[in-house]
Amino acid sequence: MDNHSSDSLYQRIYKLVKQIPAGQVATYGQIAKMVGNCGPRQVGYAMSHTPQAQNIPWQRVVNSQGRISVRKDGAEDPRQMKLLKQEHIIFSKSGKIDLVEYGWFGPDWEWMQQNGYQQALPPGVEN
């Protein structure tokens, strides 16, 4: 993680997620690839532990199918869908977000380089 290794993993995830603009979403895998040295599950854990005082838009991170991931109790968080709908994100009847339409391409390249993140394909274009 070069000179940014002093930042904790969760803080690096939060810093990146704060860059996702309203009306767009990223996937756990996309965030993991940009942060580096972590996987989608770790991003999910970080999103489930977001400090409220930091105003991290956790709701803008969804799974690779464009769905809201289920929580420990096996249910989706109804707040997440509500918050995303308030940002004018449309869900299909089956509860999916069109990742091609609403997927985030990430911060600009200069910001990514200055902050030690890696380029990743946007949602809907991921391998």
* Low-confidence spans in the chain with pLDDT less than 70: 1-7, 121-127
Question: Rounded to whole angstroms, what are the CA distances from 29 to 26, 45, 86, 122?
Answer: 8, 13, 24, 10
Q: What is the predicted pLDDT for the residue at 13?
A: 97
Distance CA 100, CA 66 (A): 10
CA Rg, the chain, in Å? Answer: 14
The CATH class, in words, for 2-115 is: mainly alpha
The H or E element containing residue 88 is: none
Q: Answer yes or no: are the C-beta atoms of 14 and 46 closer than 8 Å.
A: yes
The pLDDT of residue 7: 63
Give the pLDDT of residue 52: 83
Predicted pLDDT at 16: 97
- What is the per-residue pLDDT for 17? 97
* Per-domain residue ranges of the chain: 2-115
